[in-house]
């Protein structure tokens, strides 16, 4: 035990010996400490090299150009639809893949239905169901007296054939409608609601109340827009150009045309590229709403007229309704929308001028 103890005298002798010989005592470090320090130094060196080289080469690489993604709204929503072709009556029509066709073209009273379910196929094509029906020979009963609800919402539409093919009757038609939920009706006579004695043959008008599913109506409208005759000459002969009007600076061209009982006001640019397919259809609800504000109870719009241009991009559209009332509104051809602040009544049914 005494040999293992280091006293102050021994320590003093050691210090004197080291000083006299000029040799400093060696410091002893732990291996773990040495390894840790070395690792840290290595990481710093490697990090520096990485920063220098990555900065140099990255600056030489041009940025990756990302291709613009196509707009979803610009895609043709009917592109993947099925196409129905009828050689007997000479037409084609596209419809959604999850819809079904009820083809009764070989029956004495031929009809072709395009419906979401079999339950929507009915004997009367004018019943309150969702469908598009092609009736080359027409139908015996009277069609609905209106195609909009009391709030102006569109629920039905005809594509009446102006020049019928030789194997169609003159009463043949193409018609689409969407089911009206909670349907009720009232009757209007000379812009006044009557409680009884409604007679549509004498000019009374049924007004429809309820609600429709807007996305389903959009599908109906799209199906109707795909209807085409196989004979292109037959189809083109149906279109009648009523008026063509060019803006003062020549930038826009308006074309008012009819196809059967339906009317369109198209907007083209100076190169005759279609900018707006139909001013009337795109503003239908807004025009109806504004007429309601001016006291119109439910008469449908029956005629349109392109009036004068008020600037290089705005013109006046005149609207005639079933009882003879006439309205005018400004239209901005850049947006395709009516200018509500300009909407006004021109004359009443009792006025002749």
**What tens digit of pLDDT does each residue of 178-204 get?**
999 999 999 888 778 898 888 876 777
Position with higher pLDDT, 286 vs 317: 317
pLDDT score, position 50: 64
CA dihedral 129, 131, 136, 141 (to 10 degrees): 10
Q: What integer is the mean pLDDT of 27-55?
A: 65
Does 251 score more than 90 pLDDT?
yes
Does 111 score more than 80 pLDDT?
yes
Q: Two tokens at 119?
A: 């339950």
Does 49 score more than 90 pLDDT?
no
pLDDT score, position 199: 81
Q: What integer is the mean pLDDT of 122-147?
A: 85
Taking a C-beta distance cutoff of 8 angstroms, is the pair 253, 269 a contact? yes
What secondary structure, in 3-state letters, does the chain show? CCCCCCCHHHHHHHHHHHHHHCCCCCCCCCHHHHHHHHHHHHHHHHHHHHHHHHHHHHHHCCCCCCCCCCCHHHCCCCCCCEEEEECCCCEEEEECCCCEEEEECCCCCCEEEEECCHHHCCCCCCCCCCEEEEECCCCCCCCCCCCEECCCCECEEEEECCCCCCCCCCCCEEEEECCCEEEEEEEEECCEEECCCCCHHHCCEEEEEEECCHHHHHHHHHHHHCCEECCHHHHHCCEEEEEEEECCCCCEEEEEEEECCEEEEEEEECCCCEEECCHHHHCHHHHHHHHHHCCCCCCCEEEEEEEEECCCCEEEEEEEECCCCEEEEEEECCCCEEEEEEEEEEECCCCCC
> Which of 347, 351, 317, 315 minimizes the C-alpha distance to 333?
315
Would you place residue 332 in the very low, low, confident or very high pLDDT band (cuts 50, 70, 90)?
A: very high
Q: What is the pLDDT of residues 51-61, one digit of tens each?
A: 665 555 444 44
Would you place residue 259 in the very low, low, confident or very high pLDDT band (cuts 50, 70, 90)?
A: low
CA–CA separation, 280 and 259 (whole Å): 13
CA–CA separation, 251 and 82 (whole Å): 38
Q: Two tokens at 277?
A: 């397919």
Does 81 score more than 90 pLDDT?
yes
Taking a C-beta distance cutoff of 8 angstroms, is the pair 118, 127 a contact? no
Does 290 score more than 70 pLDDT?
yes
Longest distance between any two alpha carbons in the chain, whole Å: 139
What lies within 8 Å, CB to CB, of 142 at 6+ separation is 200
Dihedral sign of CA atoms 246, 244, 153, 238 in order = negative
Position with higher pLDDT, 345 vs 217: 217
Position with higher pLDDT, 282 vs 227: 227
Instruction: Provide the whole-model pTM.
Output: 0.54
Would you place residue 113 in the very low, low, confident or very high pLDDT band (cuts 50, 70, 90)?
A: very high
Would you place residue 2 in the very low, low, confident or very high pLDDT band (cuts 50, 70, 90)?
A: very low
Would you place residue 30 in the very low, low, confident or very high pLDDT band (cuts 50, 70, 90)?
A: low
CA–CA separation, 162 and 315 (whole Å): 28
Does 1 score more than 50 pLDDT?
no
Does 340 score more than 70 pLDDT?
yes
Position with higher pLDDT, 41 vs 20: 41
Q: What integer is the mean pLDDT of 292-321?
A: 82
Taking a C-beta distance cutoff of 8 angstroms, is the pair 148, 300 a contact? yes
Q: What integer is the mean pLDDT of 249-266?
A: 83
Does 128 score more than 50 pLDDT?
yes
Q: Two tokens at 191?
A: 């812009």
What lies within 8 Å, CB to CB, of 101 at 6+ separation is 84, 95, 112, 113, 114
**Buried b / exposed e along 239-253 (16+ C-beta atoms within 10 A):** eeeeeeeebeeeebb
Does 3 score more than 90 pLDDT?
no
Position with higher pLDDT, 33 vs 298: 33
pLDDT score, position 236: 46
């Amino acid at each position: 035990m005494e040999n293992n103890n280091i006293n102050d005298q021994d320590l003093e002798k050691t210090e004197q010996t080291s000083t006299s010989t000029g040799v400093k005592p060696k410091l002893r470090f732990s291996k773990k400490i040495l390894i840790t320090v070395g690792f840290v130094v290595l990481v710093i060196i490697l990090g520096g090299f990485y920063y220098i080289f990555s900065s140099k080469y990255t600056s030489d690489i041009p940025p990756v150009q990302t291709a613009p993604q196509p707009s979803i709204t610009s895609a043709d929503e009917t592109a993947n639809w099925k196409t129905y072709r009828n050689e007997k009556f000479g037409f084609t029509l596209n419809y959604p893949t999850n819809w079904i066709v009820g083809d009764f073209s070989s029956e004495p009273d031929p009809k072709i239905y395009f419906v979401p379910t079999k339950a929507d196929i009915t004997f009367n094509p004018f019943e309150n169901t969702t469908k598009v029906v092609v009736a080359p020979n027409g139908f015996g009963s009277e069609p609905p007296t209106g195609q909009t609800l009391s709030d102006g919402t569109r629920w039905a539409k005809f594509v009446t054939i102006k020049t019928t093919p030789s194997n169609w009757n003159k009463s043949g038609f193409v018609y689409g409608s969407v089911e009206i939920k909670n349907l009720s009706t009232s009757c209007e006579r000379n812009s006044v609601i009557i409680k009884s004695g409604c007679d549509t043959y004498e000019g009374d008008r049924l007004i429809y109340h309820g609600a429709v599913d807007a996305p389903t109506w959009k599908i109906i409208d799209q199906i109707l827009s795909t209807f085409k005759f196989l004979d292109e000459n037959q189809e083109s002969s149906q279109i009648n150009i009523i008026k063509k009007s060019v803006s003062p600076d020549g930038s826009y061209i308006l074309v008012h045309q009819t196809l059967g009982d339906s009317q369109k006001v198209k907007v083209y640019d100076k190169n005759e590229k279609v900018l707006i397919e139909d001013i009337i259809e795109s503003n239908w609800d807004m025009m109806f709403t504004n007429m309601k504000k001016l006291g119109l109870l439910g008469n449908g719009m029956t005629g349109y007229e392109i009036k004068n241009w008020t600037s290089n991009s705005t013109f006046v559209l005149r609207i005639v309704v079933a009882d003879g009332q006439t309205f005018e509104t400004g239209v901005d051809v850049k947006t395709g929308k009516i200018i509500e602040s300009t909407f006004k009544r021109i004359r009443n049914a009792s006025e002749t001028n």
